[in-house]
Structure formats: C-alpha cells, structure tokens
Structure 1
Amino acid sequence: MLSLNIPGRGPFTIHHLVLDFNGTIAFNGELIPGVAERIMLLSKEMEIHVITADTNGTVARQCTGLPVSVQILHSDNHTGEKGEFVHGLDGVICMGNGANDEAMFEEADLAIAVAGREGCATATLLKSDVIIEDINDGLDLLLNPKRMIATLRK
C-alpha cells in the first residue's frame, strides 16, 4: 500500500498500479530497460496489473518472472474493458498512453500519461493528472512519492 497526502487534493491510499503495455512499459513489444527493476520494487507496496490488447503478441513472454497479473483484452471495446477493469479495483494509479486508456484514466484515483516514443492520445492526455515523458520517471514518482506530491499539490 502506498499512502499519498496531496495538499489541496486529499489523501490517497493506493493498492493497485495498472499499466498499459505497448507504448507505456514496452516499445515495439519489448520491455523498456529499467521497467522490470522498478516493477520488482513497487510490487512490495502494491499489486501490479498489466492490461493490454497485446498488439505484438509479446506480453506473456516479456512479463515472465515479474510479479504482475496480465490481462489481455478480448472484447471489441478495449476502452470500455480497461475502464471496467479499473472500476472493479480500489485505490488505483494508472499509467498509459493510448486512446483505449481514456476510460481507465477516468476510473483511476490518479492517472499518469506517458508521452514517450509512441506519443500519447490527446483524449487520454486530457484525462491525466500527470504527464511524463519516460515510463521510468513515472514509476520513480511512485518510488519517491514526495515527487508526486510536489507535482500535484495545489
């Protein structure tokens, strides 16, 4: 569990980190260097979920050995499916970049948009609380919560 008390926004108790895969923690279907190590550290504080359409068909192999649950989307409405998944959880931070991340951002307690090498869909960007360029910087916000507090305080 991660506790954040953000002045002007209130206290947050985070139990779950929900990560998009392609464009967020992976590029061209391969985990971005540094992500696995950070996931290992964060898994001591919260449950970590990777939710993806698995465009490149690599998520199972890339996440082998990581303390994450992998959810592969199967419906015709990936945006809605991601939103429903997050809606069923309590105390959630999401990270993503795609248009299909918009609904999960709406449902999350805090949403971090990753505007990395694949870019970030505008609709998702507008639903975010924080925008970062590199996923490792986003994960570091959770490993060093005072950074998140400094960014979001009002």
Structure 2
Amino acid sequence: MKKYHNWRGFLTIVSALLFLSIWPLMAFYSYGKNETDGGDSFLITGVLFLIILLIFTPVLFIRFKKKVDAKNAYLTLPEQNAPATVLNKSEKVVGDKYSTGTVFYITFEMPDGERKNFQVIHDKYATIEKDDVGTLIYKEGNGFLFFVDFKRKPNKDQ
C-alpha cells in the first residue's frame, strides 16, 4: 500500500519558516547602518524572534512527523481479526476553558485474557454494548494500535 506523504503541508511549513526567517536577517543586516533609526531595538526584536523561531520549528516538525507516521502505520499495517468480548466502555472529557470534547474508549478482552483498549468514534461507541461478543478487527504494530471494526455475533436468545 502506498505511504502517505503530506507534501503540501510540509512545503507550507517550510516556506512559512523561510519567510519568517527574513526578519532576523534584516535586523542583523541593518544593525549599525544608521545609529539614529533605532537599530538596537530592531536587532533585539530580530534576535528574540529568531530564538522563538528556533524553539517552535522543531516542535512543529515533531508533531508533523508523528501525524505522518501514524497515518503511514494505519495505511500499511495489515488488519488482524480476533474473537473478543467487550469488557468496558469509558469516556474522557478533554479540552480547556474555550472548548471541550469527549474521547471514547472501548476495552476488549481476547480469549487468551489479553486486553486491548481502543479509542473509537462516537458512532461505534454508541452501537457497541458491554459484554457484546464478536470479532474484533484492528491494526497493531510499530507501537500503534488502531480500531477498525467490531462485528457482533448474533445473540442466540433473540
């Protein structure tokens, strides 16, 4: 399967960083040209901006790389099927004072006793009930664990 590369996002970040790096270069170039035009304050602003740029650039690239790695893992890992029982369902409210959201988790237990906890979307969370038995379809490897689907076995009582 083809690996996912977000070249447009990568080029946008690189071009923005190159554009923003012009400011400190202008500050260094203009320093000392004319002492009456406030070159010192322009230089200080340029140095502070450069320090901020050097701090945030690696952070942006690390976050970008993590997202690309997760997408590549999801696309390239094979699907695995296993019989499983829904052991637990839980919710976690995340956010700050401006916005909040809910993250949904379902824990499955395999026949050998191994438990796997997956983050799922609301639709799956709402349709899967505790103690449901069925086939769990997931992707696992390279430190990633992805929920794909859960096929419930029909209940014999119905």
Same fold (TM over 0.5): no
- The structure, 1 or 2, with the larger RCO (C-alpha pairs under 8 Å, 6+ apart) is 1
Q: If each structure's strand is expressed as a fraction of its own residues, which one has the higher value?
A: 2
Q: If each structure's helix is expressed as a fraction of its own residues, which one has the higher value?
A: 2
TM-score after normalising by structure 1: 0.19
TM-score after normalising by structure 2: 0.19
